[in-house]
Amino acid sequence: MEAYRGWQRYFNERFQTYGRVVHFYVHFGNSSQSPEARRADAAEGYARIKPFAVLTDANENEIDYVEAMAKRGVLNFGSFYGKEEPFFRKYPKLVWGYQPTLEYSARTYSDYVCKKVVGKPAVLAGSELANQPRKLGLFHTTDENFPGLIRLAELVKKQVETCGGEIAATATFPRCCYAQDNGTQPDYAATNMAEFRSQGITTILWTGGVEGYTGTAASSQGYQPEWIVLGDGTLDGNNPIRLSKNSSAFDRRGIVITPEVFEPAIAQQRCFQAFREVNQTRPKSDMGFICEPYRNLFQLFTGIQVAGPRLGPTSVDTGYHAIPPVRSDDPTSPACFYNDGDYTCVKDAQIEIWHANGAAPGDNRPGCWMIINGAKRYLQGEFPEGNINAQGGGQQCNGHSTSVLIDPNP
């Protein structure tokens, strides 16, 4: 609660909100995470507080809570990775996401692949694949618990084929999204990589979803393709590939297209510096979780500010959509604006390369995504010319990291 009081003071002081003072309430939900429990949490919170807006952080069935609040006219702000456009349009003006929609992410990724991968030699592949004409393989999950990832693969396949790229082979993994999946036999990974290698696949398009066996399977077979990864909020963090038992499989051959920003050491990050303006005593070790809600809070207060003196869903919607589409020249901040019929903030991406021996800021364990070209951010249609190595190699580890799932059940 102390952390939220600090953010309350900071944002109220920094934003001109037409004399409003915004109060934060922390609501811990039911111990059950069922859809019914989420809806009950929403009913209880609304009855007690009647909030103008909520920021949610739930591991399971978050959407049931969001929809229950939206039906009551309450605005919601969240990161919402991998949600499709109809999710936001179901409750127009009420549900706002920080990260791009699934469709927008697919177009950004496909834009990169079409411009910098298709029809060019495999410059990052090793062994017999090095500098060969690219032959593309698609890698994705078939886990029906993650329909968004299945949809991403479908969209990317269609878009890449439309620009002239041929998907020569497809490989899938049955369960998502475990860095170590002890409940699944890894045989599929060895079979997938043997099949890709026999077909001469030089470049694997990995369209999201953490999976921990495939890198090891590729290395054990001496198979060294390029990996073009779609950042999904977890796969573009430092932990997932480090925990796949053999991150050397991706060493200087894995490229990620991610909407995440460059995060330097924690003391250099904007959220840390902002919080320190109002709280100098909180231990530095706590700043990781304190910074987690920063971007959603920033989006919320931006909405309050641009809404003008008459605060409500319509004025917030009008204010957001009046923000001009300006590119970002700051690697630590995204380009944030809202297209017609769009309710999400981030509109650009950066490119990173995996270094198995790199160490992220504040973490001495090996393995990190390194920024390329100074973490320059690109809007759709603005990726530079040339092959995927044209902007150089890795320069500095991105501090962005995420928690991962490990299935303990044999």
> Per the domain annotation, does 333 fall within a domain?
no
Q: 306 and 188 in one domain?
A: no
The alpha carbon of residue 116 and the mean position of all alpha carbons in its chain are separated, in whole angstroms, by: 21
Which CATH number goes with the domain that contains 208? 3.40.50.2300
Q: Is 234 left (phi over 0), alpha (psi -120 to 50) or beta?
A: alpha
- Ramachandran bin of 228, using left for φ above 0, alpha for ψ from -120 to 50, beta for the remaining angles: beta
User: What's the Cα-to-Cα distance from 250 to each of 208, 217, 357, rounded to whole Å?
Assistant: 15, 12, 11
More confident residue, 268 or 137: 137
The answer as to whether 331 is a domain residue is no
pLDDT at 8 over 70: no
pLDDT of residue 38 exceeding 70: yes
**Alpha carbon of residue 90 to chain centroid:** 22
- pLDDT, tens digit, 9 for 90 and up, residues 175-196: 998 877 777 888 999 999 999 9
Residues 346-386: pLDDT tens digits?
999 999 999 998 888 877 778 899 999 999 999 999 999 99
User: How confident is the model at residue 240, as a pLDDT?
Assistant: 62
Q: Among 199-213, 236-250, 391-405, which range has the highest average pLDDT?
A: 199-213
17/72 same-domain check:
yes
On the CB side of 204, CA atoms within 13 Å amount to: 27
- How much is the pLDDT for 276? 80
DSSP at 203: E
Q: Are residues 163 and 197 in the same domain?
A: yes
More confident residue, 61 or 231: 231
Cis ω on the peptide bond leading into residue 177 (within 30° of 0)?
yes
| 343 found inside a domain | no
* Same domain as 195, residue 54: no
In a domain, 289, yes or no: yes
What domain range includes position 29? Answer: 2-101+264-321
Q: How confident is the model at residue 103 (pLDDT cuts 50, 70, 90)?
A: very high
CB 388 within 8 A of CB 117: yes
Per-residue pLDDT tens digits for 220-233: 999 999 999 999 88
* DSSP per-residue letters across 129-160: GTTPBP-EEEEEE--TT-HHHHHHHHHHHHHH
Compute the distance between CA of residue 386 and CA of residue 258 in angstroms, rounded to an integer: 19
Give the separation between CA 248 and CA 369, rounded to whole angstroms. Answer: 12
Confidence band of 318 (pLDDT split at 50, 70, 90)? very high
Give the pLDDT mean for 58-81.
Answer: 87
Nearest partner of 202 among 137, 258, 150, judged by Cα: 137
- 342 is a domain residue: no
Mark which of 321, 336, 359 sits at the end of a domain: 321
Pair (80, 159) in one structural domain: no
Question: Does 70 share its domain with 27?
Answer: yes
Instruction: Tell me which residue of 369, 318, 126, 349 sits closest to 226, measured CA to CA.
Output: 126
For residue 167, pLDDT over 70 is answered with yes
Question: What number of other Cβ atoms are within 10 A of residue 278's Cβ?
Answer: 17
308 with 297, same domain: the answer is yes
Asked if the model's pLDDT at residue 327 lies above 60, the reply is yes
In total, the chain counts a number of residues equal to: 410
Q: What's the total number of domains in the chain? A: 2
Is 95's pLDDT higher than 90? yes
With a cut of 80, say whether residue 2 has pLDDT above it.
no
pLDDT of 403 higher than 70 = no
Cα 130 to Cα 331: distance, rounded to the nearest angstrom: 31
Q: Is the Cβ–Cβ distance between 226 and 250 less than 8 Å?
A: no
Per-residue pLDDT at 263 = 86
The arithmetic mean of pLDDT across residues 104-113, rounded, is: 98
pTM of the model: 0.91
Shared domain for 138 and 225, answered yes or no, is yes
pLDDT at 244: 66
Residues 75 and 97: their CA atoms lie apart, in Å, by: 11
Q: Who wins on pLDDT, 359 or 334? A: 334
- Are 273 and 257 within one domain? no
What is the maximum span of the chain, computed from C-alpha positions, in angstroms?
Answer: 67
Q: Is 218 helix (H, G, I), strand (E, B) or coil?
A: helix
Residues 10 and 94 in one domain: yes
Window from 118-127, 179-188, 321-330 with minimum mean pLDDT = 179-188
- Residue 252 shares a structural domain with residue 286: no
**Burial of residue 394, with CB atoms counted within 10 A of its CB: 0-12 exposed, 13-18 middle, 19 or more buried:** middle
Answer yes or no: do 205 and 310 share one domain. no
What pLDDT was estimated at residue 273?
A: 81
| Burial (Cβ within 10 Å: 0-12, 13-18, ≥19) of residue 90 | exposed
CB-CB neighbours of 22 under 10 Å:
16
Q: Which of 291, 245, 297 is nearest to 400 (CA)?
A: 291
pLDDT at 410 (0 to 100) = 43
